[in-house]
Amino acid sequence: MFPFLSVLFPQQSGLYEYKIFGGLTECPPELCADVYMDLEYRKQWDQYVKELCEKTCNGKRIIYWEVKYPFPLSNRDYVYIREQRNIDVDGRKIWVALAKSVSLPECPVNPGIIRVEGYEQSLVIESDGKTGSKVYMYYFDNPGGMIPSWLVNWAAKSGVPAFLKDMQRACLNYCKKT
Protein backbone atom coordinates (compact mmCIF):
# COMPACT_ATOMS: atom_id res chain seq x y z
CA MET A 1 0.00 0.00 0.00
CA PHE A 2 1.48 3.35 -0.92
CA PRO A 3 1.11 6.29 1.47
CA PHE A 4 -2.29 7.85 1.55
CA LEU A 5 -3.72 11.07 2.83
CA SER A 6 -6.78 11.48 4.99
CA VAL A 7 -7.94 15.06 5.31
CA LEU A 8 -10.79 16.60 7.27
CA PHE A 9 -12.52 19.66 5.90
CA PRO A 10 -14.76 21.40 8.46
CA GLN A 11 -18.04 22.62 7.06
CA GLN A 12 -19.91 25.68 8.29
CA SER A 13 -22.15 23.30 10.23
CA GLY A 14 -19.18 22.05 12.26
CA LEU A 15 -19.44 18.63 10.59
CA TYR A 16 -16.61 17.02 8.66
CA GLU A 17 -16.02 15.67 5.19
CA TYR A 18 -13.42 12.97 4.74
CA LYS A 19 -11.35 12.66 1.59
CA ILE A 20 -9.07 9.68 1.25
CA PHE A 21 -6.47 8.96 -1.42
CA GLY A 22 -4.65 5.68 -1.31
CA GLY A 23 -3.60 2.49 -2.90
CA LEU A 24 -4.19 -1.19 -2.48
CA THR A 25 -1.22 -3.16 -3.76
CA GLU A 26 -1.86 -6.60 -5.20
CA CYS A 27 -5.61 -5.88 -5.30
CA PRO A 28 -6.88 -5.29 -8.85
CA PRO A 29 -9.65 -2.69 -9.18
CA GLU A 30 -12.34 -5.18 -10.21
CA LEU A 31 -11.62 -7.21 -7.07
CA CYS A 32 -11.72 -4.08 -4.89
CA ALA A 33 -15.09 -3.11 -6.36
CA ASP A 34 -16.45 -6.63 -5.81
CA VAL A 35 -15.30 -6.67 -2.18
CA TYR A 36 -16.72 -3.20 -1.55
CA MET A 37 -20.12 -4.10 -3.00
CA ASP A 38 -20.40 -7.53 -1.30
CA LEU A 39 -22.52 -6.80 1.79
CA GLU A 40 -22.39 -10.37 3.13
CA TYR A 41 -18.61 -10.44 2.96
CA ARG A 42 -18.32 -7.00 4.58
CA LYS A 43 -19.99 -8.41 7.70
CA GLN A 44 -16.94 -10.66 8.03
CA TRP A 45 -14.16 -8.12 7.59
CA ASP A 46 -15.58 -4.84 8.93
CA GLN A 47 -15.49 -4.95 12.73
CA TYR A 48 -17.84 -1.97 13.03
CA VAL A 49 -20.78 -3.64 11.28
CA LYS A 50 -23.55 -4.57 13.69
CA GLU A 51 -26.13 -5.21 10.96
CA LEU A 52 -25.93 -4.82 7.19
CA CYS A 53 -28.48 -5.95 4.64
CA GLU A 54 -30.33 -5.03 1.51
CA LYS A 55 -34.09 -4.49 1.83
CA THR A 56 -36.96 -3.44 -0.36
CA CYS A 57 -38.93 -0.50 1.03
CA ASN A 58 -41.72 1.11 -0.95
CA GLY A 59 -40.49 -0.63 -4.10
CA LYS A 60 -36.94 0.73 -3.71
CA ARG A 61 -33.86 -1.38 -3.03
CA ILE A 62 -32.13 0.18 -0.06
CA ILE A 63 -29.34 -0.78 2.29
CA TYR A 64 -29.74 -0.83 6.05
CA TRP A 65 -26.47 -0.51 7.98
CA GLU A 66 -26.05 -0.33 11.75
CA VAL A 67 -22.61 0.77 12.91
CA LYS A 68 -21.16 -0.08 16.32
CA TYR A 69 -20.06 2.97 18.30
CA PRO A 70 -17.88 2.76 21.42
CA PHE A 71 -19.54 2.78 24.82
CA PRO A 72 -21.19 4.99 26.10
CA LEU A 73 -22.26 6.33 22.67
CA SER A 74 -25.34 5.00 20.88
CA ASN A 75 -24.93 3.02 17.68
CA ARG A 76 -25.80 4.79 14.43
CA ASP A 77 -27.77 3.41 11.53
CA TYR A 78 -28.04 4.35 7.89
CA VAL A 79 -30.72 3.82 5.29
CA TYR A 80 -29.33 4.54 1.85
CA ILE A 81 -29.37 3.77 -1.83
CA ARG A 82 -26.21 2.66 -3.60
CA GLU A 83 -25.20 2.32 -7.20
CA GLN A 84 -22.10 1.06 -8.96
CA ARG A 85 -21.01 1.91 -12.47
CA ASN A 86 -18.01 0.95 -14.54
CA ILE A 87 -16.94 3.72 -16.87
CA ASP A 88 -14.29 4.18 -19.53
CA VAL A 89 -12.39 7.47 -19.58
CA ASP A 90 -9.95 7.74 -22.46
CA GLY A 91 -9.22 4.01 -22.29
CA ARG A 92 -8.94 3.93 -18.49
CA LYS A 93 -11.46 1.62 -16.82
CA ILE A 94 -12.82 3.19 -13.64
CA TRP A 95 -15.16 1.68 -11.04
CA VAL A 96 -17.46 4.15 -9.28
CA ALA A 97 -19.77 3.46 -6.33
CA LEU A 98 -22.14 6.16 -5.08
CA ALA A 99 -24.27 6.08 -1.94
CA LYS A 100 -26.73 8.57 -0.45
CA SER A 101 -29.06 8.42 2.52
CA VAL A 102 -32.81 8.31 1.98
CA SER A 103 -35.67 8.85 4.39
CA LEU A 104 -38.42 6.26 4.12
CA PRO A 105 -41.31 5.93 6.59
CA GLU A 106 -41.24 2.15 5.96
CA CYS A 107 -37.80 2.02 7.61
CA PRO A 108 -38.38 3.51 11.07
CA VAL A 109 -35.63 4.34 13.53
CA ASN A 110 -34.99 1.59 16.07
CA PRO A 111 -35.07 2.55 19.77
CA GLY A 112 -31.62 3.28 21.22
CA ILE A 113 -30.06 3.87 17.80
CA ILE A 114 -29.44 7.27 16.20
CA ARG A 115 -30.37 7.52 12.50
CA VAL A 116 -27.78 9.22 10.31
CA GLU A 117 -29.88 11.44 8.06
CA GLY A 118 -27.19 13.12 5.98
CA TYR A 119 -24.87 10.56 4.39
CA GLU A 120 -23.02 10.65 1.10
CA GLN A 121 -20.16 8.52 -0.14
CA SER A 122 -18.34 8.30 -3.44
CA LEU A 123 -15.73 5.65 -4.15
CA VAL A 124 -13.56 5.68 -7.27
CA ILE A 125 -11.17 2.84 -8.06
CA GLU A 126 -8.78 2.42 -10.97
CA SER A 127 -5.67 0.43 -11.77
CA ASP A 128 -2.36 1.64 -10.41
CA GLY A 129 -0.77 0.43 -13.65
CA LYS A 130 0.67 -2.63 -11.93
CA THR A 131 -1.14 -5.30 -9.90
CA GLY A 132 -3.02 -2.97 -7.57
CA SER A 133 -5.50 -0.14 -7.39
CA LYS A 134 -5.63 3.57 -6.76
CA VAL A 135 -8.54 4.53 -4.53
CA TYR A 136 -10.29 7.84 -3.88
CA MET A 137 -13.11 8.13 -1.38
CA TYR A 138 -15.25 11.08 -0.40
CA TYR A 139 -17.34 10.57 2.72
CA PHE A 140 -19.74 12.81 4.62
CA ASP A 141 -22.27 12.08 7.29
CA ASN A 142 -24.07 13.86 10.07
CA PRO A 143 -23.81 11.35 12.92
CA GLY A 144 -26.31 13.23 15.09
CA GLY A 145 -25.99 13.73 18.81
CA MET A 146 -22.84 14.89 20.51
CA ILE A 147 -19.71 13.22 19.19
CA PRO A 148 -16.74 13.78 21.50
CA SER A 149 -13.63 15.34 19.99
CA TRP A 150 -11.56 12.25 20.92
CA LEU A 151 -13.73 10.17 18.59
CA VAL A 152 -13.45 12.68 15.73
CA ASN A 153 -9.67 12.74 16.20
CA TRP A 154 -9.52 8.93 16.28
CA ALA A 155 -11.56 8.73 13.05
CA ALA A 156 -9.26 11.19 11.28
CA LYS A 157 -5.97 9.72 12.48
CA SER A 158 -6.75 6.01 12.76
CA GLY A 159 -10.26 4.90 11.85
CA VAL A 160 -10.60 6.26 8.32
CA PRO A 161 -7.04 5.32 7.24
CA ALA A 162 -7.47 1.85 8.77
CA PHE A 163 -10.41 1.29 6.44
CA LEU A 164 -8.07 0.97 3.44
CA LYS A 165 -5.85 -1.49 5.32
CA ASP A 166 -8.89 -3.55 6.31
CA MET A 167 -10.16 -3.48 2.75
CA GLN A 168 -6.80 -4.63 1.40
CA ARG A 169 -6.82 -7.58 3.80
CA ALA A 170 -10.40 -8.33 2.79
CA CYS A 171 -9.42 -8.28 -0.90
CA LEU A 172 -6.54 -10.67 -0.33
CA ASN A 173 -8.80 -13.05 1.61
CA TYR A 174 -11.56 -12.72 -0.98
CA CYS A 175 -9.10 -14.00 -3.57
CA LYS A 176 -8.59 -17.12 -1.46
CA LYS A 177 -12.36 -17.47 -1.01
CA THR A 178 -13.20 -17.55 -4.72
What is the rounded distance in angstroms from the CA atom of residue 76 to the CA atom of residue 67? Answer: 5
- Kindly report the backbone phi and psi dihedral angles of residue 43, in degrees, each rounded to the nearest multiple of 5, phi listed first: -60, -25
Residues facing residue 23 across a β-bridge: 134
Write the single-letter amino acid at 37: M
Domain annotation for the chain: domains and CATH numbers: 5-177 (3.30.530.20)
pLDDT at 5: 45
Per-residue pLDDT tens, the chain, 178 aa: give them: 443 445 455 556 667 788 888 888 889 999 999 999 999 999 999 999 999 999 988 778 999 999 998 888 899 999 999 999 999 999 999 999 999 999 988 888 999 999 998 999 999 999 999 999 999 999 888 888 877 777 777 776 776 667 888 988 999 999 665 5
Buried b (16+ CB within 10 A) or exposed e, 32-65: bbbbbeeeebbeebbebeeebeeeeeeeeebbbb
Please give the pLDDT value at position 80: 97
Cα separation, 129 vs 126, whole angstroms:
9
pLDDT at 3: 38
Which segments of the chain does DSSP mark as H helices, in order? 29-37, 39-45, 149-154, 160-177
Contact yes or no for 47/163 (Cβ under 8 A): no
User: Residue 145 class from Cβ within 10 Å (0-12 exposed, 13-18 middle, 19+ buried)?
Assistant: exposed
